[in-house]
Structures are given as C-alpha cells and as structure tokens.
C-alpha cells in the first residue's frame, strides 16, 4: 500500500539509547525548521551485543510505529540497527524515506588518498560482524590499513551520561592500548554514542589523531532524500524537538543535556 506523508510532519530519529543525539544535532543544524521526534530505546539497549535477528525484529516494530503515526521519514541514528535492518526495511516499505548511518570510513580514507593510512574503526561487535561493514571495508581495503575495533561496554558509559570520568579514560586507554599512537592516522567513531567520548579518545591518542563521525553525512543525506521526495518543510519558523525514551525520563534528561553540548 502506498502512503502519502505530509511535508510538515515530524521526522523520526531513533537509536538504541541516547547516542543518536549526535545525529540529531547534525540534523537540526542543517534543517532548523523541521520538527524532530527522537526515540531512544534504552530499555532494549545495548543493540550491539544482541543477535542481528533480535535487533531487526525490534527495529521493524519501531519503524512501523513511526510510519503508522504519519512521521514523514525515519532516520536510523544507529550504526548497529542500520546494519541489521535497513535493507529489509527499504524492501518492505519502498514508499517510505528511511535513512541509515554507516561508519565514516570513506572520508577517513579519502582525505589521505595515496598514503595507505592506518585507520581504526571503533564500533559495536554487531556492526563489525555484519556483511554491510565487510562490504564497506572491501571498498577501501586497497587504499588503507583498516583496523576494526569492537568496543563492547563503551556505549554504556554514554547511556549513564558519563562522557568524561576517570573510569571512562581507563576503559578507552585499555581498548586502544594495542596501538602505537604515532602510527594511527585516523579513527572512525562508528557508533553514534562514541562522538560523546571524542574528547577522552583524543586525550588517550594525542592531539594528532583525526576523528570521524557519521552524523553530518547522514544529516546531508536525509536532507537530499527529503528534497527529492518533495518532503522538506515549507515553514520558516524554528522546528520543535520531542524526545521520548523506552526506559526512563532520566534518559530523556541525559539526551537534552547531550543535545545542548
Ligand atoms: N548507538 C549504536 C550504534 O550506532 C549502538 C549502541 C548499542 O550497542 O546499542 O551502533
């Protein structure tokens, strides 16, 4: 069945928790007149250590809900959920604007084309395991040394609102301990929670390290897709942001705080 969506309806943005706020801030920056509905699925987090089937089922439920409510598009602001479900979602709902996110490996490699850089990709175990990431790596494998680094346990810090503690510093130091800091050229933050720990990653790796995140590219892609579908808002007043969470109001408060920073 083909649905039509109203151009002034909100855009749904969701993640397994508070991390997708890093994508929402990029969306709101380039589309300030749009209304956004952000849903954090903290009751079901983390996604990254579950099975692909479990996450796919959950993501279908959520996206169907947004679509049924008439939200004009859905941004899957989660690398893990994108790798688990975006392709089957698009096949099931070809009439719906669904935008996913993937680790920003392309700019990390292309900015250093011809130099065979060492690029670490930090992401959840599921993102790194899934075919989508392997296909992405295959595209750049001759242009860079790509080092996938699964980071189970890291998103939990951000979920607690911890973006700067000593425990976080110790956790990230341990994750990155095997690498020679002087030889790593770029580091991709391949989970939407990780941009919130960028300062700690920089403290561990040193100021020379260049970090990449997928939010801005996903925001630009969302604007392109909405424009192509004739669904950009025609209002010129500031849009609204509604935030809900499947676990608690406390998570909503953490989201608001992250959005302000
Ligand atoms: N924020 C999610 C991502 O971008 C993952 C966090 C989780 O494991 O739920 O991959």
Counting residues of the chain whose pLDDT is more than 90, the rounded percentage is: 97
- The mean pLDDT value for 251-261 works out to 95
Considering only residues 185 and 4, tell me which one the structure prediction assigns the higher pLDDT. 185
> What is the spatial distance between Cα 128 and Cα 121, in angstroms, rounded to a whole number?
9
What's the start-to-end Cα distance of the chain, in Å? Answer: 42
Residues sharing a CB contact under 8 Å with residue 76, sequence separation 6 or more, in sequence order? 14, 59, 63, 82, 85, 86, 89, 98, 99, 100, 101
Whether 1 has a pLDDT exceeding 70, the answer reads no
191 is catalytic: yes
> What is the spatial distance between Cα 105 and Cα 90, in angstroms, rounded to a whole number?
23
Residue ID of nearest Cα to ligand 1 atom 2: 78
Q: What is the pLDDT of residues 4-34, one digit of tens each?
A: 899 999 999 999 999 999 999 999 999 999 9
Ligand 1 center from residue 234 Cα (angstroms): 33
Whether 168 has a pLDDT exceeding 70, the answer reads yes
Q: Which of 16, 55, 245 to mutate to test the pocket of ligand 1 (most atoms within 8 A of CB)?
A: 16
Confidence of residue 70 (pLDDT cuts 50, 70, 90): very high
Per the confidence metrics, is the pTM higher than 0.95?
Answer: yes
Q: Which of 18, 62, 124, 188 to mutate to test the pocket of ligand 1 (most atoms within 8 A of CB)?
A: 124
Neighbours of 59 (CB within 10 A): 26
Task: Return the pLDDT at 133.
Answer: 97
> Which entry of 74, 78, 151, 255 is annotated as an active-site residue?
78
Counting residues of the chain whose pLDDT is more than 70, the rounded percentage is: 99
């Amino acid at each position: 069945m083909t649905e039509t969506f109203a151009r002034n309806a909100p855009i749904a943005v969701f993640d397994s928790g508070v991390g997708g706020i890093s994508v929402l801030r990029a969306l709101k920056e380039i589309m300030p007149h749009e209304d956004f509905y952000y849903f954090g699925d903290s009751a079901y987090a983390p996604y990254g250590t579950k099975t692909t089937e479990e996450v796919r089922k959950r993501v279908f439920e959520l996206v169907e809900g947004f679509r049924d409510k008439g939200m004009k598009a859905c941004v899957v602001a989660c690398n893990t959920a994108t790798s688990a479900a975006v392709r089957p979602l698009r096949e099931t709902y070809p009439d719906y604007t669904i935008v996913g996110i993937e680790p920003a490996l392309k700019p990390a490699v292309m900015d250093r084309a011809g130099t065979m850089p060492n690029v670490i990709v930090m992401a959840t175990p599921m993102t790194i395991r899934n075919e989508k990431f392997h296909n992405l790596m295959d595209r750049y494998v001759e242009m860079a040394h790509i080092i996938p680094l699964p980071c189970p346990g890291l998103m939990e810090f951000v979920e607690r609102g911890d973006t700067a503690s000593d425990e976080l510093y110790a956790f990230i130091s341990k994750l990155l301990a095997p690498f020679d800091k002087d030889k790593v050229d770029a580091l991709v933050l391949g989970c939407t929670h990780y941009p919130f720990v960028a300062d700690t990653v920089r403290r561990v790796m040193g100021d020379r390290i260049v970090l990449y995140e997928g939010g801005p590219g996903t925001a630009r892609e969302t604007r392109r897709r909405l424009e192509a579908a004739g669904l950009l808002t025609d209002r010129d007043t500031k849009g609204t942001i509604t935030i809900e969470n499947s676990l608690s109001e406390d998570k909503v408060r953490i989201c608001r705080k992250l959005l302000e920073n």
